[in-house]
Structure formats: structure tokens, C-alpha cells
Structure 1
Amino acid sequence: MAINVKVMERPVGEVSYVRATLSGLGLTLKHLVNPHKVTVQYPDERWDISPRWRGTHRMLTTEDGKAKCVACGLCPTVCPANCIKLVPGEDEAGNRYPLVFEIDEFRCIFCGYCQEVCPEEAIHMGRHYENAEYSRDKFVYDLERLTAQTHPVSELWDPADPRGE
């Protein structure tokens, strides 16, 4: 398949750009008198985000308040950004649990693979998007901070319902 390229000839003589300037000014004036509001006054007004928005992480807990994570090691294995640090431990009954579970939110690309691969559905991407801190080390979320998150979790995309309804 051939690509058609249209070559435009540049004007050779003297050219007046008054028409293009007036056209641009007319477009500017049209936007000045347009009552359509495009600015959202952020702290007071908020916009609705999609239920599939993938924001900061959240670790779900069991009824007794412990993390549902069984330290299987799938989430750090599948993470393309290598932002999850997991050190597994085991109690005397043989139950596995994470001794150290940290997610570096600066390295994370919010792909959602950790949520998809988790067999216990312990880690979830939340719908929280206000991530302002005063120091870089506050963006490393440890297990205590992950379990303390209370924002709603994101919904994964269902291929059977491509429009997400």
C-alpha cells in the first residue's frame, strides 16, 4: 500500500498573514465569550473518576485484622517495575505471612498485575489519587500503611463487558 504525500508549495512573493492572525483572534474571542466552564475548582469541586481507576495500593485484611497476604511471592515476581519487596515468614502452625511487604509508589507503574495475580485477593489497587507527601521515603508503603488504607478498591476490566457497564 503506497503512502500518498501532499506537498504544499510555499508562497514565493510577499505574503500577508493578516487573514491568519484575524482568524486566530476570532477563535480567541469565541472562547472568551463561551460560557462553557472548563476549570474545576479542585479542593471544593471534585470530578468523578472511573471505577477502574488504578491508584495507590491497599492490602485487605481478615476478620481479626491481619493481612490476607500469604507471602506466596507472585506479586514481586510479576511486577514489571520491580517495586514490591516481600520477605516471607512462617509461624509455628505452618501458616505463611509477610515479614516485610513494601511497595515503592515512585517506581510503580500502576499496571494492576499484582492485583490480578494474587491468589488470596489480598493486594488491590485503590481509587485514591491524592498522593502528596513532603519526603520521598513516605512513598514506600509498608504493610502497616497498606492495611490502614480505607479508600475503595478499583474494579478490574471484564473482557465480557468491554464497555464496563
Structure 2
Amino acid sequence: MPSKLKRVIKDYLAGRAYIPDLLVAYKESRRNNKGPVVVLGVTKGAVHATGKNVVKVFLEAHGFRVVDIGHCVEPEAFAKAVKKHKALLVGISIPVTTAEHFIKKTIKLVRKESARAKVVIGGCAINDEWVELVGADAYAPDAISGVKVFKRFSE
């Protein structure tokens, strides 16, 4: 990870930098990413993408290639992106509990497309109990945890 990006991330975690600072630093650093592909999006039924964007920055800062499919994403779009990019890692941001049905459908379609894909869920409205509830592989409560989980799954 480039030293400038490391510094900005450290400052962000300490409350001395803000999301725009992260975005500028990560855009400069992501050009050479050759790591595993992560399909990342916010499930249908939710419109807040801030958390997903922070996770994206942290993943790209750690060398992952992120396919950001946006927010309020239909379940079929996750599966289509997994197929198109041959991704084995999927991150689903869940900022509202009312999206449970869409998450279950998304995971089912992703598994149909790639039985080997690992699905990580996160979001301010859920906890680790949701892994079993929706059939995901792991829960990440924040961006740093997300990086650790995706690294573990990509080894």
C-alpha cells in the first residue's frame, strides 16, 4: 500500500481526515491493483452507500480489485457481476433490516452462479447473527474487519 494512502487511512481512523481525503488518496493508489476481485454493492431496499464506499476504499487500499455495482442493487445484478468478473468474493452492504428478503435471494443467486464464492455481509442495521439468517459466509462490522475477512477468504 502506498505510504500516502497509509497515512490518510491512519489519519481517518484517528479522526484527523475525512471521507473525501480517503477518496482522493485511494484514487491515486488503485491504478495498479492486481489482487482478488470483490463484487461490492448495497442491496435493494437500501439507498445509503456511504458505508460501502468506505469499505471500497479500504479494500482497494489493500490491493483488491473492487467491482462496485452501486446501491439499491437487484439480486440478479450481484450474480451477473460475479459471472462477468469471475469473482469469488462478494460484499453486500445492508444498512436496513427490511432488506432481508433481497439478501437471501441475492446469496442464492450468487451461489447458483459460483458455488465457491464467499459472501460477506455488513451494515449498520445488522450483526453477526445475520450470517446464519441469510446464509452468508461472514459478517464484517466495519471496513477494517471487512479487509481482514476478505484477505482470509482470498488466501
Higher relative contact order (CA closer than 8 Å, sequence separation 6+): 1
Shorter chain as denominator, the TM-score bin is under 0.3
Q: TM-score, normalised by structure 1?
A: 0.25
**Structure with the greater alpha carbon radius of gyration:** 1
